[in-house]
């Protein structure tokens, strides 16, 4: 079981890196997504082509955007990533992304929760 969990984490990180950092969402879909892609982020429509269209637009509108993977957690067919997103024309964002993979190890579903990293915090703890 541990090998499957590690494989799932590696798949999700490679998928996210190819799509976000390398700005190749169509290649990410081709290499890492199963028969369907269910999207729960209300800013992105459902399906593979909607995903490609959204991230092609993000690459054009925000050149230099970058995601850093802080943590990855796997359980069953789910992988959770704790990430820091850098947007050159905006503040950094803290994100939790949850992915579900099918039995073949392909990404088929995504949820996320995003929060801007504030300039001030009431504590000395990092968001990461």
Burial class from Cβ neighbours inside 10 Å (0-12, 13-18, 19+) for residue 87 reads: middle
Distance, in Å, from the CA atom of 52 to the CA atom of 55, rounded to the nearest integer, reads: 5
Pick the CATH number of 2-116 from 3.10.450.50, 2.40.30.130, 3.40.50.970, 1.20.140.10: 3.10.450.50
pLDDT at 1: 58
Show the tokens assigned to 50.
């909607």
Rounded mean pLDDT, 35-62: 96
Provide the percentage of residues in the chain whose pLDDT is more than 70.
99
Round to whole Å and give the CA distance between 57 and 120.
31
Helix and strand numbers (H, E) in the chain are 3, 5
pLDDT at 90: 83
Q: Where are the domains of the chain?
A: 2-116
Q: What is the pLDDT of residues 65-118, one digit of tens each?
A: 999 999 999 999 999 999 999 999 888 999 999 999 999 999 999 999 999 999
Which pTM value belongs to this model?
A: 0.93
Neighbour count for residue 118 (Cβ, 10 Å):
11
pLDDT, mean over the chain: 96
């Amino acid at each position: 079981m541990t090998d499957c969990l590690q494989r799932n984490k590696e798949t999700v990180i490679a998928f996210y890196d190819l799509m976000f950092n390398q700005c190749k969402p169509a290649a990410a879909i081709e290499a890492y997504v199963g028969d369907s892609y269910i999207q729960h982020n209300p800013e992105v429509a459902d399906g593979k082509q909607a995903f490609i269209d959204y991230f092609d637009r993000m690459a054009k509108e925000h050149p230099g955007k970058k995601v850093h993977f802080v943590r990855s957690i796997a359980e069953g067919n789910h992988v959770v990533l704790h990430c820091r997103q850098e947007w050159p024309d905006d503040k950094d964002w803290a994100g939790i992304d949850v992915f579900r993979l099918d039995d073949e190890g392909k990404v088929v579903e995504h949820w996320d929760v995003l929060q801007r990293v504030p300039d001030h915090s009431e504590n000395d703890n990092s968001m990461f």
